[in-house]
Amino acid sequence: MRETLRLHPPVPFLPRRARAAFSFAGVRFPANAQVVAVPAWTHRDPRFYRDPERFDPTRVAPERAEHLAHPLAFVPSGAGAHTCLGNRFAMLLAKRVLRHLLALRRLRHVGPPRLREVQIPLPRPLGGLRLRLSKTR
């Protein structure tokens, strides 16, 4: 689940307001400037993740824990005081639904071989996601 959220965070951008003036990449931002954090960029930063474009569920395993390299390296639901209130419930619900669904059924992608993603207003597959659900043996 974490590796999927790393590559496909549920919120494409996190609008914020700078509390104090700061500089970033040689650009000066005044206090109260509107800034935007983009989790998908941070989640693909090679300073935190080896081979960041590759799906690798073992990168979040305790022995590697790449997502913990920096407090803001993994922020699919925001961070700090702005973390989504429903984050824990959403994760629990998603795990429960997937566990029950996959225990009884087999899920297979039947759409185009390469999905394209749309980010606004929320991330989703362009043209939908075609799946076939069948009974397990």
Predicted confidence (pLDDT) per residue in 51-93, tens digit = 999 999 999 999 999 999 999 999 998 888 888 899 899 999 9
With 70 as the cut, is the pLDDT of residue 137 above it? Answer: no
Element (H, E) at 3: helix 2-7
Model confidence pLDDT, tens digit, residues 29-55? 999 999 998 999 999 999 999 999 999
